[in-house]
Amino acid sequence: MLKSDVVDPGAQVTNKPRVLLHAVSVGEVNALRSIVPELSQCSHVIVSTTTDTGLAHAQGLFSEFDSCDVVRYPLDCSWMVRRFLDIVRPDVVGLVELEVWPNFVKACSKRKIPIGIINGRLSARSFKGYKKIRMLLKPTFRRLKFACVQDQDYADRIEQMGVIQDRILITGSMKWDSIDASLLRDPSERAVKIAMEMGVDLDQPIVVAGSTGPGEEALLHDAISNDVQLIIAPRKTDRFEEAVKSVPGCVRRSSRQTVLGSKRFLLDTIGELSAIYEIADLVIVGRSFFDLYGSDPIEPAALGKCVLIGPAHSDFQQAMQLLERGAGIQVVDSQALGDEVARLLIHEDIRHEMGSRARACVIDQQGASKKHIAILFEQIHAKFG
């Protein structure tokens, strides 16, 4: 039974352990796509989110699982946190990536609920900000019972924030597990349906630009030939109108209009980018051409797509290092973008080789979700002896 923020997730009586996973928004929710189905087989999973888009996305992803609720995470006020925990009654709490709120962590600690970080990451850029208030946050971080982080750099930064060293484990990233990259597949029925409803011609080359940021829609529109089908998906919903103005004549997905023959499309909906990636011949990862530190390249890589990304991708250094080492992604600057897209669309063999290498890299990194599940249950068993 799937529930929202207005339904009591504690109403369902079950003997299964109750696992609360908190994901701020869409990106963190995506990291749970592999772990939630597995956890729901042996536990009652509650996924909490902070944003409206995260809530809607989680509801869309996990609606089929009877042992999963989706709820809204409370504001970090003592009475709200107490009420939330009284209702949800978790046996263990996993905070996805780094969503550590002092009152919530303190309340869990007082109730003897093991709470920790899963899929943890703390970029060098974010760490600079955290260090300024480290002394205020240190007691909160020391209360964490576990911190499962993606690599050694993150482990070092998390330890400096106050997590006890022997509670830190390097488990890799669950985002590598979000898609079964071992399977070669045709686009799903859902992907084909969305494309047809927008008027996309599946027999002609398709470039998908995912999670774009300010200025990138105009860059892509100008750099890529008007003869090429380009689907642009802005990262933030509050930028949809701005993006429309940057791509004159584009077909908006939200309009539910089919416009045959169009070459410019705007994906201004939530939760459909994953499907659109399936129909792409080439993917461009956004928020990487100016000053926004990049978006996650793992999902299109897992689908075996030919992936381009701009030079500003410092928030995803680990994934980029692994994909670049395996020659599964190409970095290109804004000046060369148009020419490189044109070259790759001509050479199907090069695109397929890049996609195969990207998928192989993803397969090699998979397995973090199972490690996280084992650690969450170790915490439950330790709690109940």
Encoded tokens for 12: 């369902």
What is the predicted pLDDT for the residue at 1? 35
Encoded tokens for 334: 């804004």
Domains and CATH numbers, the chain: 18-178+366-384 (3.40.50.11720), 189-365 (3.40.50.2000)
What is the predicted pLDDT for the residue at 14? 63
Residue 318 per-residue DSSP state: H
CB-count exposure of residue 170 (10 Å: 0-12, 13-18, 19+): middle
Task: Evaluate whether 122 touches 98 at the Cβ level (below 8 Å).
Answer: yes
- In 3D space, the residue among 120, 140, 1, 16 whose CA is nearest the CA of residue 71 turns out to be 1
What is the predicted pLDDT for the residue at 221? 98
From start to end of the chain, where are the E strands? 18-22, 44-49, 68-72, 92-96, 115-120, 146-149, 168-170, 206-212, 229-234, 251-252, 264-266, 282-285, 307-309, 330-331
What is the predicted pLDDT for the residue at 179? 85
CA–CA distances in Å: residue 289 to residues 295, 312, 320, 323, 356: 11, 6, 15, 18, 25
* Per-residue pLDDT in tens (0 to 9) along the chain, 385 residues: 344 444 466 555 568 999 999 999 988 999 999 999 999 999 999 999 999 999 999 999 998 898 999 999 999 999 999 999 999 999 999 999 998 999 999 999 999 999 999 999 998 889 999 999 999 999 999 999 999 999 999 999 999 999 999 999 999 999 999 888 877 778 999 999 999 999 999 999 999 999 999 999 999 999 999 999 999 999 999 999 999 999 999 999 999 888 889 999 999 998 899 999 999 999 999 999 999 999 999 999 999 999 999 999 999 998 999 999 999 999 999 999 999 999 999 999 999 999 999 999 999 999 999 999 999 999 999 888 6
Q: What is the 3-state secondary structure (H, E, C) of 171-183?
A: CCCHHHHCCCCCC
Task: Evaluate whether 58 touches 70 at the Cβ level (below 8 Å).
Answer: yes
What is the predicted pLDDT for the residue at 27? 87
What is the predicted pLDDT for the residue at 2? 40
What is the predicted pLDDT for the residue at 378? 95
What is the predicted pLDDT for the residue at 97? 94
